[in-house]
Structure 1
């Protein structure tokens, strides 16, 4: 029987203020970085955003635990269309705060090949109306934002001229939000009139942010509390993060299991099973920014990424080790240890094939620490998660480096999927992925 993955803080930080001088506390806080929400992706600013033909203000069709979510959709009609005719709804992904639909257009329509129109422009040329779906609070519970997606689907059916079926999906968390929304509609016998569902590097089994970086975000908050705004760990502690992350820790001092530590993740997966796990009626497509050959980025397990030494202060953070017991992932020392952390039975997620995120690089830039280019990015959505490998979401880590080339059809919950040629940035457009997806839509 597999051992349960866990983390152990060997020297606790809870008494750090009393054990150190104020100067030492300030020095550690400065070393850990600036104020602001860590891991929140900045909006795409390069390129032009096409003005929307219509804007829909949306309210979730029901509350979740008393919270009714809201959002907006930007409707971009196809060339030659005066009305919504062939709607493709594409939901925004995980981040902190409200969606920026102009930035989402720029991100997804970014040129990936010289002389070839962007992805969204190609859809419009094919006669497909693009509906970009955003949320006013991307970090709240998935079930709450799924209610906004349900409203968007019903609005598209109401506004549509003719009876062409819908295509519905999303990038990153947006693919999970729409997966839940369509499954819930089927469970409640609401006709979503959707022919195809798609997910673009969505974490069907879970996403990964290095556990030590989660802890450092909490540690920084403890040393330098933020007033008048969100703290460094605000995105990590958000409901959506707890639901999406395979491994999650609640504080810098947390010791215990990392896969079952959040009741919100357990509740969400139970809700997903209750409504059917996946929608059954649509043909289900998946795009993965990771490779399918089992080869990930060159990130040797256990390698120190940060090894800062300044006078008596030492700060170390390591690439996730591969399994083992009490494998050191980070430490803060002032002569004697102040805080040390170790993981047990956690696989080497950072180097897994998958859509990448520059979590290490963002921290290095904020802190002003030197970092090798190869350490800036690590796996965020492993390829086996993006293609919805048929595994228990709490137990799937043994398959991180699986070769997906000859995967039997019953080994994935999707009907078809495509992996990228290299491990590319999470939810970024690339020629192999976009050409494959457009071929899937060609006969629609």
Structure 2
């Protein structure tokens, strides 16, 4: 271990003085540095230092600790040994995986993989005095020292189950020479597997046993298999492997369900994919859950539910369709139909007389081609669904029109199928083939304008796959991102070379154009059920850091350590204009930290997003998913790290911090097939978007807050049930706060109009009301015109507007009717108890203080004073009068109020003006007047 560390340290320090010599990966860089070294002593043909060994082959089972492998670690180790080989004289990991897949082991079989081979690693010495190589700092190349051998030979033994899980009442272990790698070194003489208090001989006297061995586990859980190896020199080693064993449970089979059936697409409905050179026939599975009213097994009222995206068919129709059902892990389509207090929508529909037909997309073979139906071309699944509609029509009793529900991708499949049938019916007039006989189509959170997986997550996985040659990441890309359906649906795909959201070349745009060209089915009622917020509520923070992953190897009691990875993931920006770019994925690269040094050995990678006029797909209102939550969950470990199948083994410490557990998956506007503004976070709740023509659907239901994708609630199920029962429902309209606009005063015999901004007929009806001193002359949804009852109704009045939708909003506006009232024309002397001649005194209109604060803006009166024999200066719009009488004696001071309608009566008070110092007025402070 120390020698290997020293090699890495010497090599990495060399990079301080010498830049990276190649533009390649780790292996090409190592080969360039070592090209002058004599490699004839590498008799094993494998120099493990040519790859960065995430499987830690150099130390695995080297008597340093108890080592445990699993299928992901085993594949990674096989891949690293192959890539570290100078001559490729054994199968690549891709061939290995294909051979394993071709075996088609049943779910209760656990094949065992065996790696036992010699390899070489660098031994450059531990000090300068015993170094075995020399280094040229100007060229960055290593060379031999005469008489020194810089490589040592070691042997690795890795044994693991080649599946992550097995399920069954009896578990069978098997071996195969295809999955045994031995090139050099001590061969295995005997190999014994110990598990479940039993032992099985896998290799006996150098021969691999072809007999299968079975055992019965009592419980579900992770099982550790112990392997005891005896080599040709009679030395031994113990190593371990893990597999998750699932003990099947019994379940109650649902009543009135048919057997699992299959349907092939008809001869006139074959499809050739965008990257295929011939047409292929589609295949679907389906099961019929007959209604419970007629108590028969006859289709009378068909209702279809078409499954969505499901690669490798991990989601079956029902529990009985799993070979071994695990309720803690397996979630069937039936399970997804549960809501509320464990109520199942299928049961409810059966009780209402519907024969529910659930459609699944299995994995199937056409000649030498394997088609993964759950991630196959949407068009091929649509054609197969047309064939199923034809078949059900042929066996249906009566002429009841069907209901079709398409959750997620199932909405696109059913949309394409129904619209295609209408197009062909118009062209041919052939009712038997092309009349879909459907009255209601329900699109359930379906991506009519595309789906989203954060590009930061995709680019991070791509980095792990390409730069680190990680097998788990490669498998995820092949199985999850590179299948036809995700390439058709994802608005932003890792294969693009732009900072703007762009789909997979030759897939995304081609499919969206085909979908738009065929349009929506028209000869039925079409409604959309959404999980995305209609309030414009975001699913996160623009450019926000939603996940950090940090991985280190502590070495020599923490004196220094390898920082292997530090990855930051960010949402794309919601800024809609500008030229600044924002990080979505950042990795500092492979580097080593030693005291104050930090030396990069593989350059980092940064992915950016640019402002888009639409905003951020990552945080857009929409049904959410947690791709990065899964990534974080997989990554937290001290013993190994599994991120999208990536396995860091043993001494690594990986910690991920989640700052935001979800992201937008199906944007609200995508699920609504919105045709208005392209801005993703627009507030859509205040109008019926069917009425405005901004959606092609005839109705829709959307929540106020974002929900998990394909999430049933009491509210959306109630809305959906009414639609299914033939009772059309209005879309929910959630009213925004509004303000009545207009003047504050109205005079007798006047007619004045008051309005509400941005109110259209596509919002709810306005309910107007007025105070009893006003009469409504006319009203519309946007405005009201009123007039006073008569001239005796002076005083405060009001107008009220009420709008009801999913919520209720009311606005009241006060209005002064007629001329001012005398009661508000009072005034008072401020600061003194007496008015003096030749001195300033202050008078303030006091009626204003009788008015409630929230109404003061309505009392927009002017002040008219009558003050004789005085110098007068006014303040505060004449509410304050500063007076300096010329003479002593009595004066009558008056105040009246006026507005556009007229004046109030005078309010008067008599004051005795005295000479200052006369002593008859009670004295008081002399005020400094306030002037305008």
2:571: which partner in 1? 319
Q: How large is the RMSD of aligned CA atoms in angstroms? A: 3.2
Q: 1:424 to 1:57 in 2, by over 3 A?
A: same
Does the 8 Å CA contact 2:635/2:656 hold for their aligned counterparts?
Answer: no
Q: How many Å separate the matches in 1 of 2:261 and 2:520? A: 27
Does the 8 Å CA contact 2:533/2:622 hold for their aligned counterparts?
Answer: yes
1:100: which partner in 2? 316
1:120: which partner in 2? 346
Q: 1:224 to 1:48 in 2, by over 3 A?
A: farther
Equivalent in 652, 655, 660 of residue 375 of structure 1: 660
Does the 8 Å CA contact 1:305/1:319 hold for their aligned counterparts?
Answer: no
1:286: which partner in 2? 528
Does the 8 Å CA contact 2:543/2:583 hold for their aligned counterparts?
Answer: no
Does the 8 Å CA contact 2:586/2:606 hold for their aligned counterparts?
Answer: yes
1:40: which partner in 2? none
Q: 1:126 to 1:376 in 2, by over 3 A?
A: same
Pair 1:78-2:291 in alignment: yes
Equivalent in 484, 492, 499 of residue 239 of structure 1: 484
Worse-superposed segment, 300-309 or 144-153 = 300-309
Does the 8 Å CA contact 2:539/2:620 hold for their aligned counterparts?
Answer: yes
Equivalent in 164, 185, 207 of residue 451 of structure 2: 207
- Write the mapping of 1:23-422 to structure 2, written as runs, cut at 5 A: 25-26=52-53, 50=254, 52-61=257-266, 62-65=269-272, 66-81=279-294, 82=296, 83-98=298-313, 99-102=315-318, 103-110=331-338, 112-114=339-341, 117-136=343-362, 137-189=373-425, 190-222=434-466, 223-226=468-471, 230-250=475-495, 254-255=497-498, 258-275=501-518, 277-308=519-550, 310=552, 311-313=562-564, 314-323=566-575, 325-333=580-588, 334-335=590-591, 336=600, 337-346=603-612, 347-368=615-636, 370=655, 375-390=660-675, 396=678, 398-409=679-690, 410-422=693-705
Q: Specify the SS of the correspondent of 2:260.
A: strand
Does the 8 Å CA contact 1:237/1:250 hold for their aligned counterparts?
Answer: no
Q: How many Å separate the matches in 1 of 2:532 and 2:253? A: 27
Q: How many Å separate the matches in 2 of 1:127 and 1:14? A: 67
Q: 1:439 to 1:244 in 2, by over 3 A?
A: same
Q: Specify the SS of the correspondent of 1:350.
A: coil
Shift of 1:257: 5.3
1:243-287 Cα distance to aligned partner (Å, 9 max, x none): 111111227xx4465425421122222322343x11111111101
Q: Specify the SS of the correspondent of 2:300.
A: coil
Worse-superposed segment, 18-27 or 434-443 = 18-27
1:311-368 Cα distance to aligned partner (Å, 9 max, x none): 4332211122224532111122234442111111243223222111110111112222
Does the 8 Å CA contact 2:445/2:623 hold for their aligned counterparts?
Answer: yes
Q: 1:329 to 1:298 in 2, by over 3 A?
A: closer
Higher strand share: 2
Q: Specify the SS of the correspondent of 1:399.
A: coil
Q: How many Å separate the matches in 1 of 2:52 and 2:713? A: 45
Q: Specify the SS of the correspondent of 1:151.
A: helix
Shift of 1:239: 0.9
Shift of 1:220: 2.5
Q: How many Å separate the matches in 1 of 2:695 and 2:586? A: 39
In the alignment, structure 1 segments of 5+ residues that lack a partner are 1-12, 37-44
Q: 1:119 to 1:305 in 2, by over 3 A?
A: same
1:28-63 Cα distance to aligned partner (Å, 9 max, x none): 99xxxx689xxxxxxxx9997736324331112322
Shift of 1:428: 1.8
Worse-superposed segment, 427-436 or 53-62 = 53-62
Does the 8 Å CA contact 1:285/1:415 hold for their aligned counterparts?
Answer: yes
Q: How many Å separate the matches in 2 of 1:166 and 1:301? A: 45
1:347-405 Cα distance to aligned partner (Å, 9 max, x none): 322322211111011111222265566622211001111122126xxx93x23343334
Q: How many Å separate the matches in 1 of 2:526 and 2:502? A: 27
Does the 8 Å CA contact 1:221/1:233 hold for their aligned counterparts?
Answer: no
1:389-427 Cα distance to aligned partner (Å, 9 max, x none): 126xxx93x233433341432000111000124322111
Larger RCO (CA under 8 A, 6+ residues apart):
1
Q: How many Å separate the matches in 2 of 1:365 and 1:157? A: 47
Q: Specify the SS of the correspondent of 1:133.
A: strand
Q: 1:28 to 1:423 in 2, by over 3 A?
A: farther
Q: Specify the SS of the correspondent of 2:710.
A: coil
Q: How many Å separate the matches in 2 of 1:49 and 1:357? A: 31
Shift of 1:215: 1.5
Q: How many Å separate the matches in 2 of 1:14 and 1:57? A: 52
| Structure-1-length-normalised TM-score | 0.84
Structure ID, larger Rg:
2
Q: 1:154 to 1:400 in 2, by over 3 A?
A: farther
| Structure-2-length-normalised TM-score | 0.41
